[in-house]
Amino acid sequence: MTTASSLKQKLHEFVMGQPCAQERHDPFVIGEETSERGNMIFGYVRTSSYQLDGCGGRTDVHDVLSLLWACVMRASGAASPSLFSEEGFAGIEEEIYARWLVFQQIGDFNDNTNAKQRLLAHAAHAYHVLDEVLGWADIKYPNAKWKDQEGPALALAGRLNAAGELRDFGDMAGERECPDWLYAKSHRGGISVAVLPVESMIALRLALLAYEPISTEGRSRTSILAGGLKNAIPKKVVSKGLKYIRAVEDSDPHLPWLGVNSLPSEAAIIAIPLESHCVFLGGQTLVAVEGDCGLRQFEAERTKFLERRVKENAVFAADYIFQWPQKFDGSKFEELVYSLLEREPGVMWVRQASPTNERDGGRDFLARLVVPVGDGMQGEGSASEAGVPTPAKALNVVVQVKARNPSVGKSKVQDIRDTVEMHDANGYFLVAFPQPANSLVEHLAALAKRGIWTNWWDRAQIETRLRKHIDLVARFADLVKVGSRQP
């Protein structure tokens, strides 16, 4: 276990062990909805005008509180949420009547807890650590006063308006007491700015100490892995965030930008990516920029990386040969197959369905594949015609991994049809090392004629894919060795 993952796990164990871990902590509410499509767990932030005097206007509170909550959840590895605003009764788009957090990525801490339990506990943790930032006991009428567009707030809006092409920061600007901040928002630009007291920003950075990102640069995005969660920040989002922080913190010296790997403990601007925003923290200023910074963009960057790697390996690894031991760890071999499937074009997702050798019908993985119509199934029509793209369909497939010398026979792969039907799948994919026996190949072909999609990999096909993804050999050095063909 790495140091970063160890810190994440220790924090999670502490959070789950608190006596109030499964209690509700307003204004951070965890809810759950059940429908025929399954369960959805979400977060919700809404305050009342009875609590907060603002002539009914609590946009700043809902905006800032939800951003702070989301940042603490992201920093701990608990979740990476998307934030969605609910408009007020008056139908004014700029107003935020409430804020929803939809958890696109939920952390897995290998402790037999379910997602709702983990999110409840981390919502409680966020509430308590943010008490040092906000002072929950004082956030109530008449302490929490809102001064609409007064001197300091108008000065803040003026700086922000002068910084770029956006000119609407003054439409939603003001100063609040308890919690103490200046606030301005550009609805058109999707940018929120809050200026906090220095001591509050120090407390906020302490609340985010678990955030330890590592990153890699792409052409248009920076991909980030932190706490087991994945994000990718568009470089134009970074540019906007820095521009507006510097517009506010223009004194010299101001905190430098050292990149997305900066830690909350460092004297530098830091970036906390969410699915729908990226939050930048300076010496006193929080800037949140709306943008697609989530898992979807991370996976898009990963696909580009793998495509580049395949092209490079086609040249540099073309003459590699692989050496396999007579006997090897079956679970390690399954891990290798899983890694190859994750990178295979057309594989939408792959999930482990059972531990190795567990007697549960012979499942190893379940996967969803996009395949050409007619591929592996009889009677589906031609795959393509001249100049016409091949139509495709998505299939849920049972994947089994079998390794037997000198070949995998039909007796080692039984009840394929029953296994496929039992798991409501459309097809069957076999990885047979070093190769399937003729009797098994004939059996798979017969199943295809009866409407069950089938396919298989043997040793040669595995090695072809390893040449495309030669970096995996280092991860599985105890399973397979690589060398070059002799001239």
Instruction: State which residues form the domain around 52.
Output: 3-296
Residues 324 and 285 in one domain: no
- What pLDDT shows up at residue 387? 44
Residues 357 and 258 in one domain: no
- Distance, CA of 97 to CA of 54 (rounded, Å): 12
Residues 433 and 367 in one domain: yes
Domain containing residue 461: CATH number: 3.40.1350.10
- pLDDT grade for 252, boundaries at 50, 70 and 90: low
Model confidence pLDDT, tens digit, residues 106-161: 998 878 899 999 999 999 999 999 999 999 998 887 788 888 877 899 999 999 99
- Distance, CA of 174 to CA of 156 (rounded, Å): 9
Last residue of a domain, one of 296, 328, 354: 296
Model confidence pLDDT, tens digit, residues 283-318: 999 999 999 999 999 989 988 888 888 888 888 888
- Tell me whether residue 206 is in a domain: yes
Residues 6+ apart with CB under 8 A from 27: 45, 46, 47, 65
Most confident of 189-193, 365-369, 451-455: 189-193
Report which residue type is found at 401: V
Residues 375 and 474 in one domain: yes
Residues 324 and 458 in one domain: yes
- pLDDT grade for 361, boundaries at 50, 70 and 90: very low
- What pLDDT shows up at residue 388? 44
- What pLDDT shows up at residue 323? 93
- Distance, CA of 249 to CA of 381 (rounded, Å): 65
- What pLDDT shows up at residue 480? 93
Residues 292 and 335 in one domain: no
- What pLDDT shows up at residue 354? 60
Radius of gyration, CA atoms only, the chain: 27
- Tell me whether residue 77 is in a domain: yes
Last residue of a domain, one of 296, 330, 358: 296
Mean per-residue pLDDT for 452-478?
93
Mean per-residue pLDDT for 371-382?
54
Quick check: 263 and 211 in contact, CB under 8 A? yes
Residues 237 and 351 in one domain: no
- What pLDDT shows up at residue 89? 62
Mean per-residue pLDDT for 189-215?
96
Average pLDDT, the chain: 88
Residues 176 and 97 in one domain: yes
- 206 pLDDT exceeds 60? yes
pTM, entire model: 0.76
- Residue burial 333-369, b: 16+ Cβ < 10 Å; e: rest: bbbbbbbbbebbeebeebeebeeeeeeeebbbbbbbb
Most confident of 44-48, 260-264, 308-312: 260-264
Last residue of a domain, one of 296, 329, 346: 296
- pLDDT grade for 55, boundaries at 50, 70 and 90: low
Mean per-residue pLDDT for 83-96?
78
Least confident of 222-231, 377-386, 477-486: 377-386
Residues 263 and 351 in one domain: no
Residues 336 and 193 in one domain: no
- pLDDT grade for 3, boundaries at 50, 70 and 90: low
Residues 51 and 132 in one domain: yes
- 215 pLDDT exceeds 70? yes
- Tell me whether residue 303 is in a domain: no
- Tell me whether residue 308 is in a domain: no
- Tell me whether residue 311 is in a domain: no
- What pLDDT shows up at residue 476? 94
Query: How many structural domains are present in the chain?
Result: 2
Residues 133 and 259 in one domain: yes
- pLDDT grade for 386, boundaries at 50, 70 and 90: very low
- Tell me whether residue 307 is in a domain: no
